[in-house]
Amino acid sequence: MPKVAILIYSADDTIANLAENEKKGIEIAGGEAEIFQVPDVTFTSETEQQEEEGGKVGKTNADYPYKILTRDTLVEHDYYLFGIPAKFGNFPVEWKAFWDSNTGGLWAKGSLHGKIAGLFVSGGISGKGDTEMCIMNAMSTLVHHGIIYVPLGYKNAYKELTDTDDINGSCAWGAGCVSGANDDRAPSVSELKVHQLQGKAFYDRIKDL
């Protein structure tokens, strides 16, 4: 039975919540998954300083029960779902620092070549440009490592992706969530459903490989 590593960075509960629903979808399909959290970066950003002064403090790895993502995690697993909170249409610094600081040797050896991944995201606003661009930019890293990308597509979530009466941050590139400009919007029932659908579809795709 293939085991999926769900690899996330979550500064609040949004991506962690989405990851739990991706995991639930995998389990519905009869699979198994474990969630890992990207290591914290030790500096405090200007935004985080402002949030602390206003009484809102960003979460750290210590606030979550997940194991910390390492190079060994990537090597030991063949299937990944990456959870990324979009920052200006790209990785947040924690994700970028992990790739740059930990995977150069893996790239040189081709250690991740042929492994399979999907992506899910959150973004601050309801337009999909930010989250779609985040996935596209993340794919550059996957391509350099030779990781095969599996998109969500429309087949398994057509109703949710085409519903104009409900905000849904998901797109054909991957499941998503609109978190609000202040990261204070909880994922909707529709968004959580799409993440479960993505987890299930991803596992259905890999279970016979």
Which tokens hold the place of 50?
């402002």
pLDDT digits (tens, 9 = 90+) for 174-195: 999 998 777 778 899 999 999 9
Cα 98 to Cα 87: distance, rounded to the nearest angstrom: 16
pLDDT digits (tens, 9 = 90+) for 58-67: 778 878 899 9
- Alpha carbon distances (Å) from 66 to 24, 53, 108, 165: 16, 28, 28, 35
Q: Looking at residue 25, what is its pLDDT?
A: 98
Cα 53 to Cα 88: distance, rounded to the nearest angstrom: 24
Contact assessment for residue 202 and residue 118, using Cβ atoms and an 8 Å cutoff: yes
Which CATH architecture fits 3-206?
3-Layer(aba) Sandwich (3.40)
| pTM score over 0.75 | yes
**Residue 41 CB burial class (10 angstroms; 0-12, 13-18, ≥19):** middle
The strands making up 67-68's β-sheet, listed across from edge to edge, are 67-68, 32-37, 3-8, 79-85, 116-122, 148-149
Residue 131 C-alpha from the chain's centroid? 11
Give the residue extent of every domain in the chain: 3-206
